[in-house]
A = this chain, B = another copy of it.
Amino acid sequence: MTAVSSIDVRTGTPVAEVAAESTAADVDAVCVRAERAFPALEALGRAGRAAMLRAMADELEARRATLTEVADRESALGETRLNGELTRTCFQLRLFAEVIEDGGYLEATIDHAGDTAMGPRPDVRRMLVPLGPVGVFGASNFPFAFSVPGGDTASALATGCPVVVKAHPAHPGTSQLAYEALDAGARASGAPEGTVGIVHGQEGGSLLVRHPAIKAVGFTGSLRGGRALFDLASARPDPIPFYGELGSLNPLVVTPAAAAERAEEIAKGLIGSFTLGVGQFCTKPGLAFVPAGEAAERLRAAMTAGVAELGAGWMLSAGIHDAFEAGAARLRETAGVSAVASTPDGNGSQGPTASSPVVFAARAGELSGAVLEECFGPVTVLAEYADEEELFAALAGLSGALTATVHIGDGETGLPERLAAALRDRAGRLIWNGFPTGVAVAWAMNHGGPWPATTNALHTSVGGTAVRRFVRPVAWQDAPQSVLPEELRDGPVSVPRRVDGTLEPSA
């Protein structure tokens, strides 16, 4: 049996053995427990599950010191960032409590019996119901917010789906502690045993995706790993939805007017964004289109000067460090690409798994190979365009992304509208005069996008509507009141409903 060890990423040494890699029997046991928990978890009702989510947030906060300390040793992200991330994670659990209390996510709909142009129609009532146990793969780069206690887990539990998490191997200790906090919150709220489960190890993950009890999977990670698991989910005898967030280049466009107005300010913001968390954000801007000429030179000079002031930062793991350095090397070797900004100390001054930010430049009309793929880490490419024709041709060659960002001039019109039209079908979120890193947890947020940004662009993994991934519609036809969910019964209910075609507010 292989042990799963917690590694101090700054020293590369094991801290402790956290768990054993899950065997087939382990995965089966935890999935069967989740399956058995499903009816009782749903029966808690929206109010009961909202209380559970809040209890889970409370339990995480009660363990804040230990969680952030262990997470910092395993991820090197620093306690300030990790404290903020834990706060966000708790905020998110509480937002999903509000979402299910609101009840709009149920899409409750009633068509009373009556005569129609098609003849008599029965009484039909529709509502969304939970799918069943959900598998959640934690991400490396957000040990809390996109991992064991993250948005996938919170949104699945909110709807009434038990969750089995697959711990990320880069932070197994954090994962185990977060799991214990969630489990304590579940127990304190009267949720059934098996509401939350955990498995460890790569083979455990692939067994999880194939287990008959699992009805959907949430995943945040690499294109290669995500594609392999998506293929497993799709090849099941009974295929299940796989919500994977994979890779994203997150293009950014600076219009000539914006560059002329504030090249230096944009450069400063871009540096802050592409180096945030040592570049280890899925929304990191990896390709910035800047107009050729004097303004571009100002922007480039500001990038060069700004990056020169930065030092190396610890990467999340030795593997991610090595993959980043290999990716940066590929960029360096790509035809037409030149390095225009780097730090004076080079890489590795802090230790073997630290990396330094670097900026490359290329012509927008000549992008190819590595420039068009995500390189996870502190690197971005400035792509100079001579005119709009070159810009739009380059944009048309881009793959799907989580975000696309546009910097425009004060009061500028024409080009912004054309950029909005060109970018909308290539991204899930369009940011104006800002930067894509930082994903607000809000009702209107969308975090997703066309392939390869995600495996399923129809749904978001962040924000109030993330719950839609784990529910499916059921219709009840001519049903007696006693077999209907309470939200579909006659009389006033505390959810908005569409009744005979008209949207009615919550009573």
Of the 9-residue stretches A250-258, A301-309, A445-453, which lies at the interface with chain B? A445-453
Residues of B close to A408: CB separation below 8 A: 480
Residues of B close to A442: CB separation below 8 A: 111, 116, 121, 124
Apart from A430-B479, A443-B500, 8 more pairs, CB < 8 Å: A39-B421, A87-B118, A88-B118, A126-B463, A417-B482, A429-B475, A444-B475, A458-B469
* Contacting residue for A432 out of B129, B443, B477, B501, CB 8 A: B477
Which of A122, A455, A458: most chain B Cβ within 10 A? A458
A431 & B477 in contact (Cβ 8 Å cutoff): yes
A432 & B104 in contact (Cβ 8 Å cutoff): no
Residues of A103-124 whose CB lies within 8 A of B: 104, 107, 109-111, 116-118, 121-122, 124
Given the known interface contacts A111-B442, A443-B498, A477-B431, the answer about A239 and B472 at a Cβ–Cβ threshold of 8 Å is no
Q: How large is the interface on A (under 10, 10 to 19, 20 to 34, 35 or more residues)?
A: 35 or more
A440 & B122 in contact (Cβ 8 Å cutoff): yes
A246 to chain B, nearest CB (A): 11
Copies in the complex: 2
> Does A221 have its Cβ within 8 Å of any Cβ on chain B?
no
The CA-CA distance from A109 to B429 in the complex, in Å, is 14
The CA-CA distance from A424 to B429 in the complex, in Å, is 36
* Contacting residue for A434 out of B87, B239, B432, B478, CB 8 A: B478
Q: List 23 A-B contacts (CB under 8 A).
A: A87-B117, A87-B118, A91-B117, A91-B118, A104-B498, A107-B465, A109-B464, A109-B465, A111-B442, A116-B440, A125-B444, A126-B445, A129-B425, A131-B457, A231-B235, A234-B239, A238-B451, A416-B480, A427-B474, A428-B473, A432-B483, A448-B472, A458-B468
The CA-CA distance from A124 to B430 in the complex, in Å, is 10
Residues of B close to A496: CB separation below 8 A: 503
B501 & A443 in contact (Cβ 8 Å cutoff): yes
Residues of B close to A459: CB separation below 8 A: 473
Residues of B close to A463: CB separation below 8 A: 126, 475
A440 & B124 in contact (Cβ 8 Å cutoff): yes
A156 to chain B, nearest CB (A): 13
Residues of B close to A506: CB separation below 8 A: 503
B475 & A118 in contact (Cβ 8 Å cutoff): no
B474 & A430 in contact (Cβ 8 Å cutoff): yes
Given the known interface contacts A98-B501, A429-B475, A475-B429, the answer about A483 and B446 at a Cβ–Cβ threshold of 8 Å is no
The CA-CA distance from A471 to B455 in the complex, in Å, is 15
Residues of B close to A469: CB separation below 8 A: 458
A134 to chain B, nearest CB (A): 13
Residues of B close to A2: CB separation below 8 A: none
> Does A13 have its Cβ within 8 Å of any Cβ on chain B?
no
B241 & A456 in contact (Cβ 8 Å cutoff): yes
A460 & B473 in contact (Cβ 8 Å cutoff): yes
Residues of B close to A392: CB separation below 8 A: none
* Contacting residue for A433 out of B39, B116, B451, B478, CB 8 A: B478
A478 & B432 in contact (Cβ 8 Å cutoff): yes
The CA-CA distance from A423 to B334 in the complex, in Å, is 58
A425 & B132 in contact (Cβ 8 Å cutoff): yes
Please name the residue on chain B nearest to A400 by beta carbon: B238
> Does A505 have its Cβ within 8 Å of any Cβ on chain B?
yes
Hey, what's the 0/1 contact readout for A311-328 against B, CB within 8 Å counting as 1? Answer: 000000000000000000
A434 & B477 in contact (Cβ 8 Å cutoff): yes
The CA-CA distance from A420 to B39 in the complex, in Å, is 13
> Does A80 have its Cβ within 8 Å of any Cβ on chain B?
no
Closest 5 CB pairs of A and B: A446-B475, A420-B483, A234-B234, A238-B451, A126-B444
Please name the residue on chain B nearest to A39 by beta carbon: B421
Residues of B close to A500: CB separation below 8 A: 443
Residues of B close to A131: CB separation below 8 A: 457-458
